[in-house]
Chains A and B, each alone.
Chain A
Amino acid sequence: MSRKNACHISKSFMSKCSLVWCLALLFCTSLVWAKGAPITHQTAKDFKNLIIQGERPEIVACMAATLQEVKNIKTYEAFRWTDGTSKTALMHETEMDGHLLRSITLQAQAILSSQSFFDLVSPIQVQCEQLDEGYPKVRITLVQ
């Protein structure tokens, strides 16, 4: 269902239906729109909760550090993991001269800050580098 049609239908119903019916319609519409871009309903924001909700243990430190980093990025209104984030995470590990470097690449989505009625959802790539088991350094880039 296109957005234009959805608005048209909801307008025609507004005069006749109750508020409950309108909310139900909006919910169904949002589900249809979300179909092409799966998002997660998981809302955990820290290490412990990410572990408890069942994310891959080896990537959770990176996820938790990313969520801290995102707080400082004003251009993002919201940030979220996709349902495939855990599955598609790519981890590498190298050891040189006694130093351990772990790097993790994650896929995510961000809602860019905007004044429009609609959210602008963009794919994001997160790269974490964890040297000698320290706190991960996070780099976030917008995927064009």
Chain B
Amino acid sequence: MQVFKFKSWLKCICAQSLIGLMGALSLAAPLAHANSDILGAGATFAQPIIDTWLYAFQKAQPLRAEYQAVGSAEGIRRITSRTVDFAVTDIALTQSELVHDDLFQYPLVVSGITPVVNLPGVPSNSLKITPTLLAKIMMGELTEWDDPALKEINPTLSLPSMPILVVHRQEGSGTTFTFTHYLAQVSDEWDKRFGIGSQVMWPIGMSVRGNVGMAMAVKATPGSIGYIEYMYAKQHQLNTPLLQNAAQQFVSPSLRTFEQAARQAQWTRPSFYQSLTNLPGPQSWPIVGVSYLIVHKLQNDLNDARETLKLLNWIYSNGAALAKEQDYWLVDDESVLTRVKSAWAQMRDTKGQLVLKP
């Protein structure tokens, strides 16, 4: 449909005023390194383990480090605008995008994303859900917990007669990206109508911010179902169902089942981008997410860059055991490490000096 409007130059005067106002407001934007030597931002998915690492790192090193869990999309925004030293994202940028802004990305940790439910009278790890039924629930096509399709695969459970309330994320979220990636793989209808994205046009449900917001909303709402990073489900003692995987087995979320999927990763692409959803293997958890770390190849400040690499290197040396304690898996494959350290060795500042001393 075509629409007639006044020529755009008439609006320019107003637009320029707005731009001026926005410029003035942007002066109030927070600056990097306000309180910390090393500042990172991004995914809430990996926040529990990153906080643990930073705490341990600061005990071992005389450096202050801070991670702001503001979501993957916001993390990418901040590293692009150079207000942080590193970003962590579950939405991997492709090589084409990385080249655009001179960024280097590599996989940091892997963990599972799990549906979580609030079903009175149904114990955790007992409700069985197939991928098809999960997609139907998320599309609003299956609306009651005692639907015959759910009863059929859960004959021993007494499913309550109550409506299903879907909870999803409001902001640009890497967890949503991975979860919708999974739904698109297991449901053609989902793929066709909603696709994959850090934000999608959810047909139903209520939206909440962050993994913590998701945990609190599901915990407080009987009959609800959401999706969340596994550590948050554990921390908030949420009810996690058994999910049928690509090998038709019902599996529960755990570090062991996450690892089964993660060990199939090849990490061969230049950007390291790798989908770990719906992978084969009898014990593979079907929704596994990767948190990628992003840094600039060309650094503005040599000292900042050196401190950041000190932290990132410390994570490889000391972080794996701490990660396992929290059901994360540090991606420290030899092939990944070699490429990562080679990229670090090539990082320079704006004067051309190598960040790492040869």
Q: Identify the A interface with B (CB < 8 A).
A: 3, 23, 26-27, 29-30, 33-34, 36-37, 41, 43, 46-48, 51-52, 54, 56-61, 64, 78, 86-93, 95, 100, 102, 111-112, 117-123, 130, 132-136
Query: A52-B77, A121-B5 given. 9 additional CB < 8 A pairs?
Result: A33-B6, A47-B100, A51-B76, A51-B101, A58-B177, A61-B100, A111-B8, A118-B7, A133-B269
Known: A27-B14, A47-B100, A93-B275. A133 touches B94 (CB 8 A): yes
Expressed in whole angstroms, the minimum distance between the Cβ of A109 and any Cβ of chain B is 8
Stretch at the interface among B195-203, B234-242, B246-254: B195-203
- Chain B residues lying within 8 Å of A133, measured Cβ to Cβ, are 94-96, 269-271, 273
**Can you give 21 A-B contacts (C-beta < 8 A)?**
A30-B5, A30-B6, A30-B10, A41-B18, A43-B19, A51-B77, A51-B101, A57-B73, A57-B198, A61-B97, A91-B195, A92-B196, A100-B273, A111-B8, A119-B4, A121-B2, A121-B4, A132-B269, A133-B94, A133-B270, A136-B96
| Pairs A-B, 7 closest by C-beta atoms | A47-B100, A133-B95, A133-B94, A118-B4, A90-B195, A51-B80, A121-B3
Q: Are A26 and B97 in contact (CB under 8 A)?
A: no
Which of B13, B194, B197 touches A56 (beta carbons < 8 Å)? Answer: B197
Query: In whole angstroms, what is the CA distance A119 to B273 when docked?
Result: 43
Are B3 and A36 touching (Cβ within 8 A)?
Answer: yes
- B1-52 interface (Cβ within 8 A of A): 1-8, 10-11, 13-15, 18-19
What is the distance, in angstroms, from B165's C-beta to the closest C-beta of chain A?
A: 22
B189: chain A residues at CB < 8 Å are: none
Q: B8 to A78, Cβ gap below 8 A?
A: yes
Residues of chain B whose beta carbon lies under 8 Å from any beta carbon of chain A: 1-8, 10-11, 13-15, 18-19, 72-74, 76-77, 80-81, 89, 91, 93-97, 100-101, 172, 177, 181, 184, 191, 194-199, 201, 269-271, 273, 275
The docked-state distance in angstroms from the alpha carbon of A131 to that of B13 is: 42
Q: What's the minimum C-beta distance from B21 to chain A, rounded to whole angstroms?
A: 11
Quick check: B2 and A91 within 8 Å, CB to CB? no
A130 touches B195 (CB 8 A): no
A117 CA to B191 CA in the complex, in Å?
43
Give CA–CA (A133, B89) in the complex, Å.
17
Q: Is the CB of A91 within 8 A of B100?
A: no
Chain B residues with CB under 8 Å of A41's CB are 15, 18
Among candidates B1, B13, B201, residue contacting A87 with C-beta atoms closer than 8 Å? B201
Q: Enumerate chain A residues within 8 angstroms of B93, measured Cβ to Cβ.
A: 57
Question: How many angstroms between the C-alpha atoms of A47 and B96 in the bound complex?
Answer: 10
Of A26, A47, A59, A88, which one neighbours B6 at CB under 8 angstroms?
Answer: A26
Partner of A89, one of B89, B181, B197: B197
Q: How far does the Cβ of A48 sit from chain B's closest Cβ, in whole Å?
A: 5
B contact residues around A59 at 8 Å (CB): 197
> How many angstroms from the CA of A88 to the CA of B201 in the assembled complex?
7
State in angstroms the CA–CA spacing of A20 and B93 once bound together. Answer: 48
